[in-house]
Structure 1
Amino acid sequence: MKQAPFSSEKDDEYSSAYYKEGLVFCSNRRTDLFVTFSTPEDKELFNMFYVPIQGDSLGKAPAILSVELMTNFNDGPACFGANDSIILFSRNNEVNSKKRDTKDDRNKLGIFTSHLIGTVWNEPKAFEYNSKNHHITMPSLSKDGSQLFFVSDMSGGFGGLDIYMCEKVNNTWSKPINLGNEINTKGNESFPFISASGELFFASNGHKGLGGLDIFSSIKKNGKWQKILPIKAPINSEFDDFGLITDCNFESGYFSSNRKGNDDIYEFRTKFPQFSNCDTLKENQYCFLFYDEYYTPLDTLNTYYEWVFGDGMKIKGKEAEHCYEGPGNYEVELNIIDKRTGEVFLQQTKYEFELLDFEQAYISCVDESLSMHPIKFEASKTNLPTVDIANYYWDFGDGFLDEGIDVNHYYNREGDYKVILGILSEKDSLGCRKKICVEKTITINDNPTALIPMNLEDSNLQRNISSTGESFIGQQQINETSFRKSKLVQLPSNGISTMKAFSLVFFESFEKEKQFAKEYEEMYEDFEHDLNSNPAKALALKSHLNSRRKSNAKMHLIEKELQALSSQFQCSYIEAETQTMSDSATPILNRLLKILLTNPLIELKIGVHISKANSGNFDIAGKATQLIADYLVERGVDTVRLRTAVYETTFEEAGMKGDMNRLEFKVIKE
């Protein structure tokens, strides 16, 4: 960064704009064209000057942009459109008087437009929203000329000066729209510049910065301006910094600052691009529950179901959990196998299963490490098939930066650090690059002993497993033998494709918890052993355990809430024969709906347990579960996330008393 060569030591220069092969800027340097009036500080009023580019740098001989556009008042700032054949600039609404009273604020600023005819600018025309009651100034035109940004103190804003925007519709500017409180504050927002890539830069003294006016930026996603990003030093300083313009990649540009006393224009080049509003890293999912919703009568004595997953793996059963090693196209089959011959008796289903990674930049690193310990950061798993990547940039969150697909870094002190991986594409036909970024938080500790995981007996994984083979969860006792007597009843689909539940879900899930607890104990022993001899391995293990524990704790809370909703929901709320539901069910189902919408990976079983004495009510119970599923689907839940089931249960054997017909909501998997 350096002061532009045309900036003088004694005069003021500010608010530059790209024009032809150079810059147009505002300055109060003296001209000999005609006399303009001075301010009370004995300074000249501002005119618009043009300076051409000489080679790779700007020339040092600025000249008045246009005699036709000069007035006896302040002229500028300006912007240009239509291949530099249109100028939009700011000046006072009334410029016909021969003398200006500098204390008179009744002559408001407005925006005026002029067209270049040959080599001469024609008579400027006033912007249709200029007003005698408030200022309209500092225009910035989008690359395609469809949007005009400007500054105004019109009523209805958030503070002193706000930024507004108009859109061109049928060659007419729409009514000005305030950019909202994402951009505007109770302070002053000014000097907007919309870059060729659509990024908005502006100055503000209302947002938190380094002091005075600071420069900020924001981009618009899905119709909303994103969280603003302060431009880093040395562009921003404790002084007034404003009027930034840049190319579409923020690789070079100009800005104004009074850090040396006068307003001067500085030119800059960025060696490291800034990335803002980054996506949070999403972990790819390779494990799935495979099921088939259609019922086929099966002779279990002579046949069985078998899944073929297209990656060399097979699993017996109508439903099966399977994990793939990575993305790809897999041909999945569910076959009915003849036990005697081992051959396929009937192919139940067959389809192509395409497994894709999220399209994103991807950070591969540990979740937790020690200070002063090298950490490897990798971007090799980045999946951006439509982006021709030019380079990878790393911001480690501690003030250090690096670039490259694989880098190493260590932290000096403990804390949580937000790591950002930014990616720039190659330039397109207009010279612009795509910017993509993703962020991930890692934890750094000073003391290795602080990383010892919680004792197993203190974790959410604690379970009491008795030597009698009975499992205790909370105060509920379930005997393995009696639980396995639950009978699954397959129901007709009623025209809606829903998944059908399989029996023993609760017990199987519990068996997995016991296995995890066992793994945890074994890994905990490894952790204690490796803590001193191999800290890196111990930390990687700790990161893995923490990740699994956090997921388990979250699921524990969700399952607890679902249990509460199950106990509150009464079967009497539903009249299955008439397909109606009482108003009493609505609050419970809306809470259930919120759980599903805020946890999009959860799949839910809606089950009804009926006693043998009521076994004739299978169809009614099935309609009841379907009615609840319909309610959720109509409000945005994907049908493939819902499974319905009716169970014939010997409640007495399971030690359960009370109502023999009860409904339950239970997580199948997340």
Structure 2
Amino acid sequence: MKRFYFQLLLLVVCPFPGTGQSLWEVRVAPFSMGVANDYAPFLFQDGVIFSSDRIDNIFNQYRTMSGERTSNLYFVKKKDSVHFGRPRKLLFQINTFVNEGPVSYDATHHVLYFTRNLLLDKKNKKQPNYTGIFYIDYNNGNWGTVHPFVYNNPAYNVGHPAVSPDGKMLFFASDMPGGYGRSDLYVCYRQGNGWSKPKNLGKNVNSAASDLYPFFHPSRRLYFASDRTGFLGKLDIFFTFFNDGQWILPVHLDAPFNSPADDYAYVVDSSMHAGLFTSTRRGRDNIFMFTSLLPEMKGCNPVEEPVNCFLFYETQSNNTDTIPIKYKWDFGDGTVGYGHTVEHCFDKSGQYLARLSVTDTITGETRESVATYLVEVVESQEPFITAPDTCFTGEEIHLDGLETSIPGFQPEQYFWDLGNGNLAEGAEIKTIYHTPGIFMVRLLVRGMTNTGNRVDKCVYKEITVLNAGQKK
């Protein structure tokens, strides 16, 4: 495996142990089932750009000094959710006889960024051929001219570009001097037509190991791979957020994304329900596809608080503090209450006739049913989410659907979309939000009706997440 910037990975259909694994289907991408090393996929327009050392011409092969085949960039068009066309090399301005690796596309400014070895005419074979970032304009099918990134340097590696969706930030990996580990993640900010000087993402993100393959998602998550110690295996996939002036400590993805093998170069679509990544879990670098198995959540209704509690009060008397009267409420469900104003909650749905009786405590005279109220308690026809309205970043919160009680419906499965790209299954779950904002939590309950039909019922609830620094 090409260890630093031209590493090739391979993915497989789960099962793998880990939280939430049943919510994902993972399979080897159909264009990555050969004997070549395929890695670093990137979702591009109606297909995928990826790097591969596959052989296109047996008479025209290039190899590194260590004997490995060099990698070129390919594009494969997507036919539908699982089928692809035939991979084809990108144009000759991009692909050369050296390595071309991970890419990123700035759709705002119509620029494709990619990784390549710096020296195309390498006469001194003992001189290291480090990598750099290059870019080329691409607009409406027309390619421009390749240009080098301003911060490339022949003394160290710069590569793995990842542009933010608005084109204002360019993340990359480098082993330039002054970092925290073997390779760190950096960011440059757009300044007019150029870029600011690289800024290290800091010790919250970077480790003493290699931190590589960044991908910046529209949700503001920065995914990357790292071989830091204390996790499942070699390279593992993590994500972080920039929150309250700093990057949060990286969050490790569960199986089936991470395994004891190398797992890296993770990309996911805007819905966060489908994407690709690279892994060596089958002994070779291949690209894997993943798809959420979460049932489709459309037409969800807002959660409604059950209306089974009512306030009863006597409306005719204004002198309850001076008149010696005793108030007795018969709620019609076998219970009674006392007082001028009483709150009562009914346990079951139905119609109840509540009656008020008053007693003069001096004479002992009682007047029955001086007031009557017909109360109708209707059971909800939708699931119910029990969750806080507000929480803080980094705080573990509890959510459940246990109060779902629908006449003629027996819940069997509970599926959650937490609004931040995380999915879960179960009647009770726990989660942590890492960034502030308003998140729409959706719960889909699948169950059986009295008539033997399996149906899905979906509701949503908004949770406001505040910065932990706002705690009093």
TM-score past 0.5 threshold? yes
Query: Aligned residue pairs: how many?
Result: 319
Instruction: Indicate which of 171, 178, 201 corresponds to 1:156.
Output: 178
| Structure 1 residue matching 2:206: 3-state secondary structure | coil
Question: Quick check: 1:68–1:120 contact (8 Å CA) kept in 2?
Answer: no
| Structure of higher RCO (CA pairs closer than 8 Å, 6+ residues apart) | 2
Structure 1 position 419 matched with structure 2 position 430: yes
Structure 2 residue identity aligned to 1:262: R
Structure 2 residue identity aligned to 1:214: D
Residue in structure 1 matched with residue 168 of structure 2 by the alignment: 146
Q: Which has the higher strand share?
A: 2
Question: Quick check: 2:212–2:226 contact (8 Å CA) kept in 1?
Answer: yes
Structure 1 residue identity aligned to 2:212: S
| Structure 2 residue matching 1:6: 3-state secondary structure | helix
Question: Quick check: 1:73–1:100 contact (8 Å CA) kept in 2?
Answer: no
Residue in structure 2 matched with residue 402 of structure 1 by the alignment: 425
Residue in structure 1 matched with residue 331 of structure 2 by the alignment: none
Q: Which has the higher helix share?
A: 1
| Higher CA-based Rg | 1
Instruction: Indicate which of 154, 157, 174 corresponds to 1:132.
Output: 154
Residue in structure 2 matched with residue 200 of structure 1 by the alignment: 222
Tell me the TM-score normalised to structure 1 length: 0.43
Change (3 A) 1:18 1:121: same
Question: Quick check: 2:135–2:149 contact (8 Å CA) kept in 1?
Answer: yes
Alignment partners' CA distance in 2, 1:90 and 1:20: 19
Alignment partners' CA distance in 2, 1:3 and 1:598: 45
Alignment partners' CA distance in 1, 2:34 and 2:199: 39
| Structure 2 residue matching 1:87: 3-state secondary structure | strand
Alignment partners' CA distance in 2, 1:31 and 1:78: 21
| Structure 1 residue matching 2:120: 3-state secondary structure | coil
Structure 2 residue identity aligned to 1:125: H
Residue in structure 2 matched with residue 210 of structure 1 by the alignment: 232
Alignment of 1:97-108 (within 5 A): 97=122, 101=125, 104-105=127-128, 107-108=129-130
Q: Deviations over 1:187-222 (max 9, x none)?
A: 000000001211011000115320000000111112
Alignment partners' CA distance in 2, 1:176 and 1:269: 35
Alignment partners' CA distance in 1, 2:109 and 2:27: 27
Alignment partners' CA distance in 2, 1:393 and 1:128: 42
Residue in structure 2 matched with residue 387 of structure 1 by the alignment: none
Alignment partners' CA distance in 1, 2:461 and 2:50: 29
Instruction: Indicate which of 45, 68, 71 corresponds to 1:46.
Output: 71
Q: CA deviation at 1:5?
A: 0.3
Q: CA deviation at 1:249?
A: 3.8
Residue in structure 1 matched with residue 408 of structure 2 by the alignment: none
| Structure 2 residue matching 1:145: 3-state secondary structure | coil
Structure 1 position 7 matched with structure 2 position 32: yes
Structure 1 position 166 matched with structure 2 position 188: yes
Structure 2 residue identity aligned to 1:129: Y
Instruction: Indicate which of 284, 293, 307 corresponds to 1:262.
Output: 284
| Structure 1 residue matching 2:173: 3-state secondary structure | strand
| Structure 1 residue matching 2:255: 3-state secondary structure | coil
Q: Deviations over 1:125-184 (max 9, x none)?
A: 111111111111000000010000000001110010000001102222011010011110
Q: CA deviation at 1:25?
A: 0.1
Q: Deviations over 1:568-619 (max 9, x none)?
A: xxxxxxxxxxxxxxxxxxxxxxxxxxxxx9994xxxxxxxxxxxxxxxxxxx
Alignment partners' CA distance in 2, 1:598 and 1:69: 49
Question: Quick check: 1:256–1:263 contact (8 Å CA) kept in 2?
Answer: yes
Question: Quick check: 1:364–1:378 contact (8 Å CA) kept in 2?
Answer: no
Question: Quick check: 1:215–1:242 contact (8 Å CA) kept in 2?
Answer: yes
Residue in structure 1 matched with residue 259 of structure 2 by the alignment: 237
Instruction: Indicate which of 205, 216, 220 corresponds to 1:183.
Output: 205
Structure 2 residue identity aligned to 1:178: N
Alignment of 1:400-549 (within 5 A): 402=425, 407=427, 419-420=430-431, 424=440
Alignment partners' CA distance in 1, 2:168 and 2:82: 31
Tell me the TM-score normalised to structure 2 length: 0.60
Change (3 A) 1:229 1:129: same
Q: CA deviation at 1:377?
A: 5.0
Alignment partners' CA distance in 2, 1:144 and 1:237: 32
Aligned-residue identity in percent: 30
Alignment of 1:225-624 (within 5 A): 225-271=247-293, 359-360=390-391, 392=416, 402=425, 407=427, 419-420=430-431, 424=440, 600=472
Residue in structure 1 matched with residue 56 of structure 2 by the alignment: 31
Residue in structure 1 matched with residue 4 of structure 2 by the alignment: none
Structure 2 residue identity aligned to 1:210: L
Question: Quick check: 2:240–2:247 contact (8 Å CA) kept in 1?
Answer: yes
Question: Which consecutive residues of structure 2, in runs of 5 or more, have no partner in the other structure?
Answer: 1-25, 296-317, 322-342, 344-387, 406-414, 434-438, 443-459
Structure 1 residue identity aligned to 2:182: G
Q: CA deviation at 1:272?
A: 6.1
Alignment partners' CA distance in 1, 2:131 and 2:177: 15
